[in-house]
């Protein structure tokens, strides 16, 4: 696909307005491009196989924040990219993300996501895995259409890293000896890597040098880490109707996320014993005592502080970019990642 062509949406510089945009303004800024992205995704999900159409319509109709494709669009805008490939690659990023969700829900035996039954709950595990594979293959078909080997190299490495992260998380399950460093490496691979690549792609499409690519990759890495750490906090604090999944799902699956890891590191012997047993056994039999241990040790506040630190580091990574509405929007996404309640 050619990268030359008319402007996909207005590029507006705003050197006199240094503050980050709020999430509403961010969404408005990419609204036109995001509609194109959604159109690409809809086209990709069309198949002569009825079940693929059904599952595809179900998972895309459930909504979602669309943060990862928004990062691609904003990154391209920040470099005044003029072309159409950014909307294609934003769709690629979202298709890969959706495929990982389908596979995750099967591995985790999840029955609720975004407030609705998961695809595996409705159609079964086999259908979810196979439709996830279909989304991966569609994503790579789209990548080929962009005709950029640098893009292909980045995304091939990204999908490999995500797969490694999934395996790392599987190995971490029911293991109470996972420390903070190992956990952060797991979420770097499983979650933050796709944000990293999404941010980097805008620089690649715009022909920016390696230093700028590195800055944008750093932005995405820290943004994705902040996003996941806030998810870890919300797993123990948000209402089910706001979070769109069951409270304590991570603990029920035996996943040691940072709030639990921190509470075990600083808690008293009784709290450490309780938390170890909760991770080893899974389930929510002692959830109230677990919540009390996590809260009383300051583990939630600690995790939130780590998330804010990564959000600030994400914004610092943008300092090499010229001030513009798109840079302010990228900064706004970092703020949103740590201020959200769902």
Q: Per-residue DSSP letters for 225-248?
A: HHHHHHHHHHHHHS-HHHHSS-TT
Measure CA 204 to chain center.
20
Q: Which candidate, 342, 341, 320, 317, places its Cα nearest to that of 331?
A: 317
183 within some domain: yes
Q: What is the pLDDT of residue 51?
A: 85
12 within some domain: no
11 within some domain: no
3-state secondary structure of 40: helix
306 within some domain: yes
Do 86 and 205 contact (CB within 8 A), yes or no?
A: yes
2 within some domain: no
Q: Could you give phi then psi for residue 87, rounded to 5 degrees?
A: -70, -35
Residues 6+ apart with CB under 8 A from 81: 3, 202, 205, 206
| 45 pLDDT above the threshold of 70 | yes
Q: Which residues pair with 112 in a beta bridge?
A: 117
| 2 pLDDT above the threshold of 70 | no
16 within some domain: no
Q: What is the pLDDT of residue 116?
A: 77
Average pLDDT over residues 68-97: 95
| 107 pLDDT above the threshold of 90 | no
Do 223 and 322 contact (CB within 8 A), yes or no?
A: no
Q: What is the DSSP string of 169-201?
A: HHHHTT-TT--HHHHHHHHIIIIIHHHHHHHHH
The mean of the pLDDT values for the chain is 88
pLDDT digits (tens, 9 = 90+) for 293-317: 999 999 999 999 999 999 999 999 9
| 242 pLDDT above the threshold of 70 | no
| 115 pLDDT above the threshold of 80 | no
Q: How confident is the model at residue 10 (pLDDT cuts 50, 70, 90)?
A: very low
> How many CB atoms neighbour CB 281 within 10 A?
12
Name the least confident of 62-71, 313-322, 325-334.
62-71
Name the least confident of 84-88, 205-209, 243-247.
243-247
17 within some domain: no
What's the CATH code of the domain at 113? 1.10.600.10
| 144 pLDDT above the threshold of 80 | yes
Q: What is the pLDDT of residue 4?
A: 33
Number of domains in the chain: 1
7 within some domain: no
Average pLDDT over residues 314-338: 95
Q: How many whole angstroms separate alpha carbon 117 and alpha carbon 8?
A: 36
pLDDT digits (tens, 9 = 90+) for 49-74: 888 888 877 777 766 688 999 999 99
Domain that holds residue 265: 23-339
Q: Could you give phi then psi for residue 84, rounded to 5 degrees?
A: -125, -10
């Amino acid at each position: 696909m050619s990268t030359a062509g008319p402007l996909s949406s207005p590029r507006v510089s705003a050197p006199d307005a240094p503050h980050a945009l709020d999430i509403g303004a961010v969404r408005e800024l990419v609204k036109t491009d995001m509609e194109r992205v959604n159109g690409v995704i809809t086209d990709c999900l069309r198949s002569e196989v009825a079940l693929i159409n059904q599952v595809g319509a179900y998972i895309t109709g459930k909504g979602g924040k669309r943060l990862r494709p928004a990062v691609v669009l904003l990154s391209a805008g920040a470099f005044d990219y003029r072309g159409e490939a950014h909307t294609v690659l934003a769709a690629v990023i979202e298709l890969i993300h959706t495929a990982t969700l389908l596979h995750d829900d099967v591995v985790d035996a999840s029955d609720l996501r975004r407030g609705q039954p998961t695809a595996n709950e409705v159609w079964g595990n086999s259908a979810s895995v196979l439709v996830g594979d279909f989304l991966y293959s569609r994503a790579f078909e789209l990548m080929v259409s962009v005709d950029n080997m640098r893009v292909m190299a980045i995304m091939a490495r990204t999908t490999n890293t995500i797969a490694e992260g999934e395996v790392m998380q599987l190995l971490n399950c029911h293991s109470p000896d996972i420390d903070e460093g190992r956990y952060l490496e797991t979420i770097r691979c499983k979650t933050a890597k796709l944000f990293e690549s999404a941010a980097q792609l805008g620089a690649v499409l715009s022909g920016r040098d390696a230093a700028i690519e590195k800055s944008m990759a750093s932005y995405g890495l820290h943004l994705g880490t902040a996003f996941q750490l806030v998810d870890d906090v919300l797993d123990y604090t948000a209402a089910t109707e706001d979070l769109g999944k069951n409270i304590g799902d991570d603990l029920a699956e035996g996943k040691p996320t940072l709030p639990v890891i921190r509470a075990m590191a600083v808690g008293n012997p009784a709290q450490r014993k309780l938390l170890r047993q909760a991770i080893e056994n899974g389930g929510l039999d002692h959830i109230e005592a677990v919540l009390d241990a996590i809260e009383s040790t300051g583990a939630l506040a600690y995790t939130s502080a780590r998330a804010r630190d990564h959000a600030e580091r994400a914004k610092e990574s943008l300092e090499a970019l010229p001030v513009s509405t798109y840079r302010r929007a990228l900064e706004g996404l970092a703020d949103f990642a740590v201020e959200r309640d769902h």
